[in-house]
Amino acid sequence: MKLTTEGEALLQFVKGSLEIEGMALSKIQRAAKDSITEVSISGPSSILRSRVIPNLVKLKNQFPLLRFKFDLSDTDSNVDKLKTGHCDFALLEHHHVTREMDSKILKAERYCLYGPASWKRRLLPEILKTETIIDFDQSDNMTFNYLDKYRLKPQARKERHFANNTDALISMVAAGLGYSVISEEFAQDFVKSGEIIKLGGDQFYDYKIALAWYPRSEKPGYFEAIIKALH
């Protein structure tokens, strides 16, 4: 069985009601400070690792009983995870945010084209003509979006390698198996170490994202703090 849109909205309402009920009972029993709270956040691995986790770590002293569950997922399923209650927050592309959700626009994640250091003296047209794209999976269109932006897609070979892990993907690029579009912030350490190089000069593709969640009639302090910490 699959929830209807109305069912998804009802599920979020019930979850919020249960949380408020738990907070109220905890305060009545004078045990609020002893209550462990888990928050789940789903989103692309590069953004979670380079921006989300470092910013939310700062909240550990303010909310010592808060427990994070980070779901590193580089697919479009994050919107479904939010709708079905499998996460409390999701990092989504702007067009995946629906009317019933609350959201906050975040700074776009900048993606650039990278290849192995051994390709330093090669020209981009020749690379596109002879080398293979490496992407996360068949639904990953980030490299194609980049190539489309600069009208380079007709020059590129369409068959691809796949690796559903960002570290593995970069390892494949460094080993010379092909090229890929990677988050600039995430790739910078690998560029500094000399494992990969940026291709295409100053060209880039901005991945526009938003932090999304379902409205709550009364947001707990930690909930507001998470929203404020991510920018």
pLDDT digits (tens, 9 = 90+) for 28-72: 555 545 678 899 999 988 899 989 999 999 999 999 989 999 999
Q: Other C-beta atoms within 10 Å of 10: how many? A: 12
Mean pLDDT of all residues in 115-142: 94
Note whether 113 and 185 are same-domain residues.
Answer: yes
Rounding to the nearest 10 degrees, give the CA dihedral for residues 135, 140, 146, 151: 100
From first CA to last CA, the distance across the chain in angstroms is 37
Read off the pLDDT band of 161 (50, 70, 90). very high
pLDDT of residue 219: 82
Nearest to 166 by CA among 57, 18, 43: 43
Percentage above 70 pLDDT, the chain: 92
Residues 11 and 103 in one domain: yes
Same domain flag for 86 and 37: yes
State what percent of residues in the chain have pLDDT above 90: 64
Same domain, residue pair 155 and 63: no
pLDDT at 4 over 90: no
pLDDT score, position 119? 97
* pLDDT tens by residue, 206-216: 999 999 999 88
Q: 153 and 82: one domain? A: no
What is the model's pLDDT at position 19? 66
Assess whether 168 and 155 both reside in one domain.
Answer: yes
User: Does the pLDDT of residue 194 top 80, yes or no?
Assistant: yes
Same domain, 201 and 216: no
When pLDDT is averaged across residues 70-75 and rounded to a whole number, the result is: 86
Three-state DSSP class for residue 203: coil
Please check whether residues 74 and 84 belong to one and the same domain. Answer: yes
Residue 92 sits in a domain whose CATH number is 3.40.190.10
* Angle made by CA atoms 64, 68, 72, in degrees to the nearest 5: 155
* Separate counts of helices (H) and strands (E) for the chain: 9, 11
Judge contact between 74 and 166, C-beta under 8 A.
yes
pLDDT of residue 35: 73
pLDDT higher than 80, residue 185: yes
For residue 115, give its domain range.
109-207
How high is the pLDDT of residue 6? Answer: 81
Show the DSSP H helices in 29-165 as ranges: 45-47, 53-56, 78-83, 124-130, 142-149
181 neighbors 142 (Cβ within 8 angstroms): yes
CB 172 within 8 A of CB 110: no
For residues 48 and 123, state if they share a domain. Answer: no
* 85 and 137 belong to one structural domain: no
Amino acid letter at 21?
A: E
Please report the pLDDT score of residue 126 as a whole number.
Answer: 96
Residue 23 predicted with pLDDT over 70: no
| Per-residue confidence (pLDDT) for residue 32, from 0 to 100 | 46
Instruction: Let me know whether 91 and 68 are in one domain.
Output: yes
Query: Domain check: are 135 and 190 in the same one?
Result: yes
Q: Residue 97's CB: how many other CB atoms inside 10 A?
A: 20
Quickly state the pLDDT bin for 73 (edges 50, 70, 90): confident
The pLDDT value recorded for residue 46 is 86
Average pLDDT, the chain: 89
pLDDT at 70: 95
Domains: count for the chain: 2
State both tokens at 49: 């690792």
What pLDDT score was predicted for residue 147? 96
Residue 24 has pLDDT above 60, yes or no: yes
Task: Find the angle CA(76)-CA(221)-CA(93) to the nearest 5 degrees.
Answer: 15
